Structure 1
Amino acid sequence: MRYLFYFLLSIIVISCAAAKYKPLKINGVSFVAARDAIDSTHTKPVVNINANAAAIMPFGFIKDVNHPEIIHNTERQWFGETRAGAKQYIKTLHKDHIEVMIKPQIWIWHGEFTGLLKMNTEADWKLLESSYSSFILEYAELAEEVNVEVFCIGTELEEFVKNRPEYWQQLIKEIRAVYSGKLTYAANWDEFWTTPFWSELDYVGIDAYFPVSDMQTPTIEDCIKGWEKHTQGLKAFSEKLDRPILFTEFGYRSVDYSAKEPWRYDRSMTSVNFEAQNNATQALFEAVWQEDWFAGGYLWKWFIEHNKAGGLEDNQFTPQNKPVEDIIKAHYSQF
């Protein structure tokens, strides 16, 4: 019997070794800040789609690009946008074994694109830098306090990064002094090539709105073909830097032409097209998720009131209560 036992054990070990290894990925959602605190009823839908990570996004606000003071952590903000709210969200997510990335973001009044934030004078640059350091270090300290797994040092700030590289190098050192976890930066999909400080971070972070198909209802096959021109460059970039690629945002609207310019969120796109969202999402998973250079990503975006979010008349990014939710759940279960 002893020999039979060891024979069977050896067969099991050999079978397991022969099975294709699938590394654990960051299967994340972008958890949208709200007015109220959360509890397990808000995190359970995240668990139900087999997500293992969430991005928490406290906000700072710039009223005027010509007076670049960042207003943050005030009583006038929604609870989820503040330090106290971020802390409460993180603790609740951690209870359900959901790892967290804190991803502080800036909103410029009237919705101006943050990538174009650029000062005209040295005095204004200094004001912006001082204000940004106050904003970002507050959340780096919180990240260390509550053992957050990943911290994002900025989101889509191309002109700021390009014009003030020395500031960003110093800021990373200051963040490292207070936070001991993994660092990334959320570069726009066409910005990351020139971001100068990837070697100082742990992940190459990309808001991954790559154009992959011009079709009104893109097919899975067309989107996968469209990904080929991007994945070759991403793989080479990752290998050159010896850093994994992390999609700090990814996702598609349930709208016509959803994979043509995936970053678009304007209201002029009024159609509802679930097949387009389904196919584009499935293609992204098939094109990148199993790659060794790819660490995972955070789906854009997930609202805390799951039963009220998305639905069959919604053409925005959220997958909630739409057919694509089942695709995400099935894929996340594999990793």
Structure 2
Amino acid sequence: MNQPTGSFKAGMTWGWDGHRGDWSTPLAERSLAAMAEELDINWVTLAFGALQDTPQSTRIHFDSAPTVADEEVRRAIRQAKGLDLHVCLKPVVNVKNGTWRAHINFFDIDVPCEPKWSDWFRTYTDFILHYARIAEEEGCDLYCIGCEMVSTDRREAEWRELIARVREVFHGPITYNCDKYQEGQVKWWDAVDFISSSGYYPVDAWEENLDRIERVVQAYGKPFFFMEAGCMSRVGSEFVPNDWSLTGQPSQEAQDAFYRAMFAACEKRPWVEGYMLWDWPAKLEDAAEAADKGDYYVNGKKAAATIRSHYRKQLNK
């Protein structure tokens, strides 16, 4: 499998907050360009969601609002390419009732009159293949086939079949974004080209978690990067970076401390081949306004300078 040039992924995730129509505005174009300039990235992950009604629903509504329209996806890919960025396309299923997608789950054996894994994977395959075709047609450099689908990870046969189907229509490298702490639970890493995970690890626990992940990477002999990694700019967030519901006062220092700790730990591990950090909004706010918010965005915050400095250092090696 040919890999795109530039092995280190100095990347950022863009557009996750976008709903249908949000990616096709002048504001979205300015946001993508500003991200590339401010962070000196060489990769971008274009991430968007589609909804199923409940964790046990077997239909994914990816062809209607709020999911961004196909032409918006194509437009964003083309703009990113015009900015000389490598592009990873990342369609993600979410649950309309607010349940985290990690809890999408069904009985391990088929039971009459109950929703089934086979029904869900059929519609999920349609969903993933739809965007795999767009990724192929638009020349994406990487395709992500799933994100933090913890309860599905054990369905090895279904994932292997899905990967085989994706390879029929998308001819670039593919990855799966497992959730934090789940790197060793996925048993089908050999079927993808990159191992990737969500790096929401406490500021004081990077070394022990990297030790654990390294064993998985060595066992499968695959390149690794963090498909997500980030921290809210809120007091205490650096110790629970995965907790988006954390309340408290905004703190750029907490967010910056997380990034500094992560970069320092990962820099000593050459097998960590980069990041698609979380995240940058399609609806870009004024820098002064953004700086006072406690969300994951880094625009207008201290962490942006830390990210830019680290990326420049890595890319100039």
TM-score interval for Structure 1 and Structure 2 normalised by the shorter chain: 0.7 to 0.9
SS of aligned partner of 2:222: coil
More off after superposition, 231-240 vs 321-330:
231-240
1:83 corresponds to 2:70: yes
Q: Deviation at 1:58?
A: 3.0
RMSD after superposition: 1.8
**Aligned to 2:95, which of 108, 121, 130?**
108
Structure 2: which amino acid aligns with 1:301?
D
Contact 1:189 1:207 in 2 (8 A): yes
Q: For 1:204 and 1:99, locate their aligned partners in 2 and report how far apart those are by CA, in whole Å.
A: 18
Percent identity at matched positions? 21
Q: Which residue number corresponds to residue 97 of structure 1?
A: 84
Q: For 1:251 and 1:36, locate their aligned partners in 2 and report how far apart those are by CA, in whole Å.
A: 22
**Aligned to 2:14, which of 31, 36, 45?**
31
Structure 2: which amino acid aligns with 1:68?
T
Q: For 2:127 and 2:274, locate their aligned partners in 1 and report how far apart those are by CA, in whole Å.
A: 27
Contact 2:203 2:238 in 1 (8 A): yes
Q: Which residue number corresponds to residue 147 of structure 1?
A: 139
Structure 1: which amino acid aligns with 2:275?
G
Q: Which residue number corresponds to residue 190 of structure 1?
A: 181
Q: Which residue number corresponds to residue 17 of structure 1?
A: none
Q: For 1:68 and 1:153, locate their aligned partners in 2 and report how far apart those are by CA, in whole Å.
A: 17
Structure 2: which amino acid aligns with 1:227?
W
- Structure 2: segments with no counterpart, 5+ residues: 1-5
Contact 1:27 1:332 in 2 (8 A): yes
Runs (4 or more) in structure 1 with deviation over 6 Å come to none
SS of aligned partner of 2:66: coil
Q: Deviation at 1:141?
A: 0.9
**Aligned to 1:43, which of 32, 35, 56?**
32
Q: For 1:36 and 1:44, locate their aligned partners in 2 and report how far apart those are by CA, in whole Å.
A: 13
Report the count of equivalent residues.
296
More off after superposition, 312-321 vs 302-311:
302-311
Q: For 2:71 and 2:233, locate their aligned partners in 1 and report how far apart those are by CA, in whole Å.
A: 33
Q: For 2:210 and 2:36, locate their aligned partners in 1 and report how far apart those are by CA, in whole Å.
A: 29
Higher relative contact order (CA 8 A, sep 6+): 2
Structure 1: which amino acid aligns with 2:36?
V
Contact 2:238 2:257 in 1 (8 A): no
Q: Deviation at 1:307?
A: 3.7
**Aligned to 2:191, which of 178, 190, 200?**
200
SS of aligned partner of 1:57: strand
Q: For 2:253 and 2:56, locate their aligned partners in 1 and report how far apart those are by CA, in whole Å.
A: 43
Q: Which residue number corresponds to residue 298 of structure 1?
A: 276
Q: Which residue number corresponds to residue 175 of structure 1?
A: 166
Contact 1:186 1:248 in 2 (8 A): yes
Q: For 2:120 and 2:161, locate their aligned partners in 1 and report how far apart those are by CA, in whole Å.
A: 15
Q: Deviation at 1:153?
A: 0.8
Q: Deviation at 1:82?
A: 2.9
Structure 2: which amino acid aligns with 1:42?
S
Matches within 5 A, 1:1-335: 24-33=7-16, 34=18, 35-37=22-24, 40-48=29-37, 49-74=39-64, 76-77=65-66, 81-120=68-107, 122=110, 123-162=115-154, 164-213=155-204, 226-266=205-245, 268-289=246-267, 291-308=269-286, 311-334=290-313, 335=315
Q: Deviation at 1:256?
A: 1.7
Q: For 2:234 and 2:54, locate their aligned partners in 1 and report how far apart those are by CA, in whole Å.
A: 32
Residue by residue over 1:237-256, the C-alpha shift from the partner in whole angstroms, topping out at 9 and shown as x without a partner, is 21221112110100111112
Q: Which residue number corresponds to residue 14 of structure 1?
A: none
Q: For 2:258 and 2:202, locate their aligned partners in 1 and report how far apart those are by CA, in whole Å.
A: 10
Q: Deviation at 1:192?
A: 1.8
Q: Which structure's CA Rg is the greater one?
A: 1
Q: Deviation at 1:77?
A: 2.3
Q: Which residue number corresponds to residue 3 of structure 2?
A: none
Q: For 1:45 and 1:289, locate their aligned partners in 2 and report how far apart those are by CA, in whole Å.
A: 26
Q: For 1:205 and 1:82, locate their aligned partners in 2 and report how far apart those are by CA, in whole Å.
A: 27
Q: Deviation at 1:290?
A: 5.4
Q: Deviation at 1:332?
A: 1.3
Contact 1:239 1:293 in 2 (8 A): no
Q: For 1:262 and 1:41, locate their aligned partners in 2 and report how far apart those are by CA, in whole Å.
A: 28
Q: Deviation at 1:301?
A: 0.9
Given the two structures, how large is their TM-score scaled by the length of structure 2? 0.88
Q: For 1:288 and 1:38, locate their aligned partners in 2 and report how far apart those are by CA, in whole Å.
A: 36
Q: For 2:93 and 2:247, locate their aligned partners in 1 and report how far apart those are by CA, in whole Å.
A: 25
More off after superposition, 168-177 vs 287-296:
287-296
Structure 2: which amino acid aligns with 1:312?
A
Residue by residue over 1:276-316, the C-alpha shift from the partner in whole angstroms, topping out at 9 and shown as x without a partner, is 11111011111114532111111111012434466232001
Q: For 1:90 and 1:290, locate their aligned partners in 2 and report how far apart those are by CA, in whole Å.
A: 33
- Structure 1: segments with no counterpart, 5+ residues: 1-22, 214-225
